[in-house]
Amino acid sequence: MDGWKTNLAILVSKERQYLQQYSNYKSMLNRVGYTPEISHGMLVEMAEHKKDLEKKTKPILDTLRSYQDLPPDKALAALAIEDKKRQYNAYEKYLEDLLQSALATSED
């Protein structure tokens, strides 16, 4: 009979321990904003949607990053843009000259 009482006391102690753990886990889930509507499928769907959004916004972010090196002043920004245009035109002319000289040497 004493063995039964000891086992019962252990079971009651374990029950209290498990109920306390359950309460702790429940409060932690409430703290982080868990709701029963959240499921694995929903999380996978959200992750795929996030990847799609990142793919769509990456070109826009890359374009915006190219403007980050512009000076904050409007006049200085206009000068920087003009400078980039001049560089672009110079590179374009260089490539045209290179192409013309390559064509001229291949015709000879």
Q: HEC profile for the chain?
A: CHHHHHHHHHHHHHHHHHHHHHHHHHHHHHHHCCCCCCCHHHHHHHHHHHHHHHHHHHHHHHHHHHHCCCCCCHHHHHHHHHHHHHHHHHHHHHHHHHHHHHHHHHHC
Residue 13 located in a structural domain: yes
Residue 72 located in a structural domain: no
pTM more than 0.85: no
Residue 87 located in a structural domain: no
Residue 5 located in a structural domain: yes
Mean pLDDT of 73-79: 83
If one counts the domains in the chain, the total is: 1
Asked if 45 and 54 count as a contact pair (C-beta separation under 8 A), the reply is no
* Separation of alpha carbons 29 and 80, rounded Å: 53
Write the pLDDT tens digit of every residue in 39-68. Answer: 888 888 889 999 999 998 898 888 888 777
Residue 7 located in a structural domain: yes
For the chain, what is the radius of gyration of the CA atoms?
35
Residue 92 located in a structural domain: no
Residue 9 located in a structural domain: yes
Write the pLDDT tens digit of every residue in 31-46. Answer: 888 887 778 888 888 8
Residue 94 located in a structural domain: no
Give the residue numbers spanning the domain of 15: 1-36
- Position 107 scores a pLDDT of 64
